[in-house]
Amino acid sequence: MTSSPPVSELAPNGTLRAAINFGNPVLAGKDASGQPCGISVDLAREFGRRLGLAVELVPYESAGHVPAAIASNAWDICFLAIDPKRAADIAFTAPYAVIEGAYMVAVSSALRSVDQVDRAGTRIGVIEGSAYDLYLTRELSKATLVREASADAVMNLWIEGMLDVVAGVKPQLEADAKRIGGLRLLPGRFMSINQAMGTPQGREAGAAYLREFMVEAKSSGLVASLFAKHRITGARPAE
């Protein structure tokens, strides 16, 4: 990287606090000993190394909680899907990963394609504040979104017969379909979810340096190597 790191702006407390969203199992999870792991964790630690700073991982159980924590100054960098609503408060880098947003229905459902979902009376379960919740809130005009705090809570609603469709990231839905049974994914996707790093708006020099880091992380092959290390399926490195 060519520029000098604006450490005081990126980490004003002297420690780089990285918000990690465990609600997206493609990018972050916990290993057998319960320690955080995944692409987001590795990128946070590498960025901290570049800055010469210790990294504190700040855990969140869903993406929606991360933007909400800006007001309390709880973190310095984050790993979220790019969204216009979030961009009002977060300065994003270019994406480093692309994940498909998909729909899941009962095997017996009459729905056969993504474009059939937006119908009056159709109840779609989503994780509140997720990228696909924000997207579908803007895009759907007839179906009803039913929001819950976590993927498990959404699937509990499904089991109770309160939903007609579940929206989510494709790998998570595939795992749920295998675990619960009697479910299938509709072919195709309703959106591409572009995952990026970000920092709170107003830290212009910090945001510029973070963007520079992401460009290098992709061009050097670091992002691709992390996909291989964690054996990621259901997502691809962003170009």
- Whether 1 maps to a domain, the answer reads no
Tens digits of per-residue pLDDT, 100-148?
999 999 999 999 999 999 999 999 999 999 999 999 999 999 999 999 9
64 and 140 housed in the same domain: no
- Whether 86 maps to a domain, the answer reads yes
Instruction: Assign residue 16 the CATH number of its domain.
Output: 3.40.190.10
pLDDT of 73: 96
103 and 126 housed in the same domain: yes
| Residue 3 confidence (pLDDT) above 70 | no
- Whether 165 maps to a domain, the answer reads yes
114 and 93 housed in the same domain: no
- Whether 2 maps to a domain, the answer reads no
| Residue 2 confidence (pLDDT) above 60 | no
pLDDT of 143: 98
88 and 107 housed in the same domain: no
Q: Grade residue 233 by pLDDT with cuts at 50, 70 and 90.
A: confident
pTM of the model: 0.90
pLDDT of 224: 97
37 and 90 housed in the same domain: yes
Tens digits of per-residue pLDDT, 30-81?
999 999 999 999 999 999 999 999 999 999 999 999 999 999 999 999 999 9
14 and 62 housed in the same domain: yes
151 and 219 housed in the same domain: no
Tens digits of per-residue pLDDT, 162-181?
999 999 999 999 999 999 99
The secondary structure of the chain as a DSSP string is --SPP-HHHH-TTSSEEEEEETT-TTT-EE-TTS-EESHHHHHHHHHHHHHT--EEEEEESSTTHHHHGGGGT--SEEEEE--HHHHTTEEE---SEEEEEEEEEETT-S--SGGG---TT-EEEEETT-HHHHHHHHH-SSSEEEEESSHHHHHHHHHTT--SEEEEEHHHHHHHHHHH-SEEEPSS-SEEEEEEEEEETT-HHHHHHHHHHHHHHHHTTHHHHHHHHTT--SEEE--
- Whether 202 maps to a domain, the answer reads yes
213 and 145 housed in the same domain: no
88 and 132 housed in the same domain: no
92 and 15 housed in the same domain: yes
| Structural domain range at position 125 | 98-191
If one counts every other C-beta atom within 10 angstroms of the C-beta of residue 21, the result is 24
- Whether 50 maps to a domain, the answer reads yes
Look over the chain and give the mean of its residue pLDDT values, rounded to a whole number: 95
108 and 176 housed in the same domain: yes
pLDDT of 25: 86
| Residue 1 confidence (pLDDT) above 90 | no
90 and 115 housed in the same domain: no
The tally of domains found in the chain comes to 2
CA dist., res. 205 & res. 198, Å (int)? 13
pLDDT of 5: 85
